[in-house]
Amino acid sequence: MNNTSTSKPSPNITQWLSEAKADPRSSQVGMFLVHNGVVRETPKAKVRQGIDDGTTVQGMDFSFDAAKVEAAIAETYEMAGIFYIRAWLNEGRLTVGDDIMYVLIGGDIRPHVVDALQALVEKIKTQCVTEIELKA
């Protein structure tokens, strides 16, 4: 198996936050949350369902539908108290430790931001991406 990563360079989160705080809507934001999904060695089935087939993940092939991601972001903006969203998704052959995605959400209060981050990441993971684990 070829374990060479073909991933894109990850974004600079400090820069993202500076840009978010300079956005005209930032005066309404009381909290920003960042999600950083990373390729892990443990298979998804083991982590989520307790199924251990004795394999480990060496990497993954990752792709996404940009139009679906944009639609998911637009839908998240409709949630109460959400004023800023930025997302970056990797693509290609990823290896353990590579960044899969970053999502930054800014909103008025913690419950709104937590709920929006959870909803958006769930929608992206279940409706917008294709992840194929490469096992050893």
CATH code for position 67: 3.90.1170.40
pLDDT single digits (tens) 94-112: 999 999 999 999 999 999 9
Domain-located, residue 1 = no
Q: Is the dihedral of CA 94, 95, 98, 99 positive or negative?
A: positive
How many distinct structural domains can be found in the chain?
1
- Please list, residue by residue across 105-129, b when 16 or more beta carbons sit within 10 angstroms of its beta carbon and e when fewer do: bbbeeeebbebbbebbbebbeeebb
Q: Report H helices in 3-102.
A: 13-22, 44-49, 66-77
Stated pTM of the model: 0.91
Question: Which pLDDT belongs to residue 31?
Answer: 98
**Residue 55: inside a domain:** yes
